[in-house]
Amino acid sequence: MRYERTVNINELVKNSHLSNVIQKGLFLNALNGRLQRIFPEQYQGCYFAVDMTQDSLILQVTGATVRQALLFHQQQLLSLVQQDFPKIRKITFQINPELHRR
């Protein structure tokens, strides 16, 4: 340790895996807030963005009924999302019954 190169703590934290996890969490939190504002009011609290890949947005929903309703409106929702994220080409819905307990 005595002969190792001095490292700036800010640089170390910025490049760490934990920092990447925190940044992704902050991004998803901001994304969820944005989705709550642009998606129809009747579905608020029934979905949660869990991931975004290069061309896909992955949402968890509270149940099959909500999933089917969102699938019915999928093209309209996709066009709303594409206003902020034009590279998104599809929305995937996953059922998570634990979601409504948040």
pLDDT tens for 28-51 read 999 999 999 999 999 998 999 999
Q: Per-residue pLDDT tens for 8-25?
A: 667 766 777 777 888 889
Segments making up each domain of the chain, as ranges: 9-95
The domain defined by 9-95 folds into GMP Synthetase; Chain A, domain 3 (3.30.300)
Q: CA-to-CA distance for 51 and 14, rounded, in angstroms? A: 21
Cα 75 versus chain centre, distance: 18
pTM for the full predicted model = 0.78
